[in-house]
Amino acid sequence: MPSTEPLIRNISDTARWVAVYRARETERPDALFRDPYARRLAGKRGEEIAAAMDARSRADWPFPIRTYLFDSLIAEHVRGGGDRVVNLAAGLDARPYRMDLPPSLEWIEVDLPEILDYKEGILAAERPRCALRRVRLDLANREARRDLFADLGRDARNALIVTEGLIIYLTREQASALAEDLAAPPGFKRWVLDLASPGLRKMLVRQFGTLLDEARAPLRFSPDEGPAVFEPQGWHPVEARSYVKWAARKGRLNPVMRLLALLPESKGRQGSRPWAAACLLERRVP
Ligand SMILES: C[S@@+](CC[C@H](N)C(=O)[O-])C[C@H]1O[C@@H](n2cnc3c(N)ncnc32)[C@H](O)[C@@H]1O
């Protein structure tokens, strides 16, 4: 009997999907990073989702570029004295196992129970390089997340918050509330997140929208303000590493995209231009 289950069953299946791009990158001779766990973590469902996405767009270069840029920003934070990384909506990310990290670093992963149970099962025999803790939590539960942030921020000197592939799924109100809650603990100093321009979100909705809508995971948030979007909550942009610029540097673009990558970019609003970046924000107390 044919299955009536959607290919992407829920928001957590998007973690299986993006893990496929880390697996593909790992297998390239010129890989920008290596994630030896990604293929196993993505599993059959991840492969099926990626195949459906490939049929809609072959331009998959932004995914490994995003991972590479997040890796670099995290490594820079740790080298600069960061003592804690809080990865919200960590999904199947395996950075605590694959990055060169000091054993004293504390790494906390937060996500929904099902995906963390699945991941823990796959990685059971592996050893993380730093102190790793997993928290099963629905981040939409505001009271519970505030308690968690207060707990994690209390004894951190210099924590980096990571949200990779999360913000675009939130409404403006949800994203602003998250920014506000993240600004409360004094130990939460910096935040690395990915942002897309309104123009890029429209393009992605055209390409992938139906599959994501079926999973009740529509792409919703692409702030017109760009990296300054959370300034009202106290998060100031430090830098934005544009995917297209970095993909050009790393030789990952076709000739047409290489020409587009030469166009100057503003530091703020990108409007209808397709643009995405890994953004580093810093909490500044007024
Ligand atoms: C696109 S995946 C990104 C996963 C990972 N950060 C990465 O880049 O590979 C989105 C993740 O957000 C998680 N997520 C979405 N809504 C959430 C919520 N309310 N609470 C906890 N996790 C959530 C999903 O379970 C999924 O793992």
Phi then psi for 25, rounded to 5 degrees?
Answer: -60, -45
Reported as a single tens digit per residue, the pLDDT across 14-35 is 999 999 999 999 999 999 999 9
**Ligand 1 centroid, distance to 216 Cα (angstroms):** 13
On whether the CB atoms of residues 253 and 61 are closer than 8 A, the answer is: yes
The CATH number assigned to the domain with range 61-283 reads 3.40.50.150
Cα gap 166→221, rounded to integer Å: 10
pLDDT of residue 1: 45
On whether the CB atoms of residues 73 and 164 are closer than 8 A, the answer is: no
Name the residue at shortest CA distance from atom 13 of ligand 1.
89
Phi then psi for 200, rounded to 5 degrees?
Answer: -70, -40
| 78 burial via Cβ count (<10 Å: 0-12, 13-18, 19+) | buried
On whether the CB atoms of residues 169 and 219 are closer than 8 A, the answer is: yes
Pocket of ligand 1 (CB under 6 A): 11-12, 14-15, 18, 89-93, 111-112, 115, 138-140, 164-166
Q: What is the pLDDT along the chain (286 residues), one digit of tens a residue?
A: 456 788 999 999 999 999 999 999 999 999 999 999 999 999 999 999 999 998 888 788 999 999 999 999 999 999 999 999 999 999 999 999 999 999 999 999 999 999 999 999 999 999 999 999 999 999 999 999 999 999 999 989 999 999 999 999 999 999 999 999 999 999 999 999 999 999 999 999 998 888 888 888 899 999 999 999 999 999 999 999 999 999 999 999 999 999 988 988 877 788 788 889 999 999 997 6
Phi then psi for 48, rounded to 5 degrees?
Answer: -65, -40
Write down the domain spans for the chain. Answer: 61-283
